[in-house]
Chains A and B, each alone.
Chain A
Amino acid sequence: KNEVEQSPQNLTAQEGEFITINCSYSVGISALHWLQQHPGGGIVSLFMLSSGKKKHGRLIATINIQEKHSSLHITASHPRDSAVYICAVSPPYNNNDMRFGAGTRLTVKP
């Protein structure tokens, strides 16, 4: 079993819809990361969380440490949000040794 599990693997939405991507992990962590990867490979770090909730524009990330679960929400989705969203966790001893989920491929149709 992978240390980091994401669901769903693929997600298609209509423009304007509210989107949720889930991430569960089975190891102790110092932080959880949400990353965005567009076609061509470039990765952007969206959030780094160790507790609670963070918001940036239309994106919201939450984490429940006790349940070892995090969610990434996108409000009012737009076709430019189409990308692969990757959940990653950092072990307690080293923030930069990230363990990655398989990613969720999001397609937002106009």
Chain B
Amino acid sequence: KAGVTQTPRYLIKTRGQQVTLSCSPISGHRSVSWYQQTPGQGLQFLFEYFSETQRNKGNFPGRFSGRQFSNSRSEMNVSTLELGDSALYLCASSLSREADTQYFGPGTRLTVL
């Protein structure tokens, strides 16, 4: 069974631009969560999608948004990029929202210049 895939793996953008990151969960997994990892703040929860609906959102500004498609694939979007958005963005999938192991993708490393 293929693991969680994320595209692109690396991305360089400039301030003010917007970016879309993609995550394909493990086949059969319906829950997709997104996390941001920075050297200063560590890992932080961004949001979770289940059955095409955002179920929970972390403490991030409205510039961060996402969606989930009927095949459970998910995208996250960051608009009006700031230097501080430079980070590793990880997605993780799980079968359900209940107590279940999350499987992480390799991440997308975003650099904002």
Task: Contact check, A30 vs B42: say whether CB atoms are below 8 A apart.
Answer: no
A42 vs B42: C-alpha distance when bound (angstroms): 14
Asked if residues B106 and A95 are in contact (CB atoms below 8 Å), the reply is no
Residues of B within 8 A of A95 (CB): 94, 97-100
Whether the Cβ atoms of B56 and A41 lie closer than 8 Å is no
Chain B contact residues, majority secondary structure: strand
Binds A, one of B11-19, B43-51, B63-71, B73-81: B43-51
> What is the minimal beta-carbon distance from A80 to any residue of chain B, in angstroms?
19
Please report the C-alpha to C-alpha distance between residue A99 and residue B45 in the assembled complex, in whole angstroms: 7
- How many A-B pairs have beta carbons closer than 8 Å: the answer is 64
In whole angstroms, what is the CA distance A40 to B90 when docked?
Answer: 12
- Chain A residues numbered 29-47 whose CB sits less than 8 Å from any CB in chain B: 30-31, 33, 35, 40-45
Specify which chain B residues have a CB less than 8 angstroms from the CB of A30 in the assembled complex. Answer: 99
The residue from A31, A50, A94, A100 contacting B42, defined by CB atoms under 8 A apart: A100
Q: Are B97 and A48 within 8 A (Cβ)?
A: no
A59 touches B (CB below 8 Å):
no
User: Which B residues lie at the A interface, using CB under 8 A?
Assistant: 31, 33, 35, 37, 42-45, 48, 55-56, 58, 88, 90, 92, 94, 97-104, 106-107, 109
Residues from chain B with Cβ under 8 Å of A86 in the complex: 43
Q: Could you say which of B58, B102, B107 contacts A45, with CB atoms under 8 Å apart? A: B102
Known: A50-B99, A88-B43, A96-B31. A44 touches B56 (CB 8 A): no
B6 CB to nearest chain A CB (Å): 10
| Distance A103 CA – B41 CA, assembled complex (angstroms) | 11
User: What's the minimum C-beta distance from A29 to chain B, rounded to whole angstroms?
Assistant: 10
CB distance from B74 to the nearest CB of A (A): 12
CB distance from A65 to the nearest CB of B (A): 14
CA distance A98 to B42 in the complex (A): 12
A75-110: CB near B (< 8 Å → 1, else 0) gives 000000000001010100011111111110000000
